[in-house]
Amino acid sequence: MNPRTSMMQGNIAVAEGAIAAGCRFFAGYPITPSTEIAEHLARSLPLLGGRFMQMEDEIAAMGAVIGASLGGMKSMTATSGPGFSLKQENIGYASITETPVVIVNVMRGGPSTGIPTLPSQGDVMQARWGTHGDHPIIVLTPAGVREAFDMTVQAFNFSERFRVPVILLLDEIIGHVHEKVTLPDPEDLVVIDRKKPTVPPEEYLPFEIDETMVPAMANFGEGYRYHVTGLVHDQTGFPTMDEVKIEMMLNRLHGKLDKYADEIIQVEETGTEDAEIGIICYGSSARSARQAMRELRDEGIPVGMLRIKTMWPFPTDRIRAFADRVSHLVVPELNLGQIAHEVEHASCDRAEVVRVNRITGDPIHPEEIVQKIKECR
């Protein structure tokens, strides 16, 4: 028996992934269905030299992880819908100040207090546009327990490498299901840390514009005294009202994700080569879709599936290429069609977009997808 094999819950895999990625600070607030992440890290982090804090509210938790990250600790918070709404203000702050942080949202039924214990995928648009103003963000959506581990590591790697807040978007099913997983040997993991300045402090530009598009980041207390502000700032970090400097800074902020889009955007394609009908899916709905696809293929119906792993930036080009090859794109989601809308935009009428939606707290039954696809023929 491999000691790294166990029946593990998705939320625990997130917590373990965070530890493996080097996260040593967690601040959060109890909220179903994400609480197991906080509970697991409350037990684990202090014994690893890290720190855990239960804050007075979700806003405070988001502020604390940004503060800790500026102090040099890889930091994470975890929440669900109502708490995710509260965190948005400081997610914007992390975005404009380019502070690496990971935010986990285990989605539950909404709006408002909604259906606290049942699954939903209703926050996919909030994950993109929840905080005000145009801002760069990376959002990853795992569809299984092992992937929840891997994507948490990747979330930290992306956030450190590109200096951007990364949101890990699970739904309650992926957060709570126990699956058989064999975790990788820590020595086999790729763990990326933020780029440190190589110049002396007097030459350090904390928000320098160079060809990498990602400035080197000094931690507080390491001799590089600099200013961090949520106001639009220039390369020195101080606020500016100069239109040229504003434009240069915001162009870099957005451009850095465009520059590395090929590395950031990930999808999983299955059976797309010979497919006549396509499925676009993510998270737990992808599990329903995969089972539906198996059944349909067994019946000789050539169905292919593109699973979104990086939700934002959106894999528009990959979906458009798939739309070129199929008659229909079926989009199952636990919401009223938030991503279907985006798929329609990507598809540009190349394929007809067909929605399969559910917002009652039940998962999408594979048979619903099977029926919908049969209706497309």
Partner 1 sequence: MSFRYEIRLSGAGGQGLILIGKIIAEAAAIYEDKNATQSQSYGPEARGGASRSEVIISDSDIDYPKATNIDLLLAMTQEAADKYSNEIKPGGTIVMDSGFVHEAPEGDFKSHGFPITNIAEEQIGKKIVANLVALGIITELSGIISDDAVINAIRARVPKGTEEMNINAFRAGQNLIRSS
Partner 2 sequence: MDYQKYLRNENFPHIWCSGCGAGIALKAILRAIDDLGIEQDDVAMVSGIGCSSRTTGYVDFNTIHTTHGRPLTFATGLKMARPDMTVLVVTGDGDATAIGGNHLIHAARRNIDMTVILYNNNIYGMTGGQASPTTPLGDIGTTAPFGAVENTFDISGLVIAAGAAYVARCTAFHAKLLDDLIRKGIEKKGFSLIEVMAPCPTAYGKLNKKGSGAKMILDQKDAAVRIAKAEKMTAEELEEKIVIGVLVDRDIPEYIQSCDAAVAQAMNARNGSA
Cα–Cα distance measured from residue 204 to residue 220, given in angstroms and rounded to the nearest whole number = 13
Residue choice 70, 86, 137, 257 for contact with partner 2 (CB under 8 A) = 70
Residue 239 contact partner, candidates partner 1, partner 2, none, CB within 5 to 8 A by sort of partner: partner 2
C-beta of 46 vs 255, nearer to partner 2: 46
List the structure tokens of 188: 């086999």
Q: Are 131 and 91 in contact (CB under 8 A)?
A: yes
The interface with partner 1 within residues 314-373 (CB under 8 A) comprises 363, 365-367
Question: Site residues for partner 1, window 195-234 (CB under 8 A)?
Answer: none
Give SS3 for 49: coil
Nearer to partner 1, 150 or 342 (CB): 150
Window 30 to 89, contacts with partner 1 (CB under 8 A): 32-33
Per-position b or e across 47-83, b if 16+ CB within 10 A of its CB: eeebbbbebeebbbbbbbbbbbbbebbbbbbbbbbbb
* E strand or H helix at 309: none
Q: Which is nearer to partner 1, 108 or 128 (CB)?
A: 108
Residue 9 or residue 157: which is nearer to partner 1 going by CB?
9
d(CA 103, CA 61): 10
Does position 199 interact with partner 2 (CB under 8 A)? The reply is no
Q: Which of 79, 90, 121, 270 binds partner 2 (CB under 8 A)?
A: 90
* Binding span for partner 2 by CB under 8 A among 86-94, 120-128, 151-159, 362-370: 86-94
Distances (CA, A) of 202 to 60, 105, 239: 33, 40, 19
DSSP 8-state code for residue 299: T
Contacting residue, 28, 33, 63, 144, with partner 2 by CB under 8 A = 63
Q: Which residues bind partner 2 (CB under 8 A)?
A: 25, 27, 46-47, 51, 53, 55-57, 59-73, 75, 89-90, 93, 220-223, 225-231, 238-239
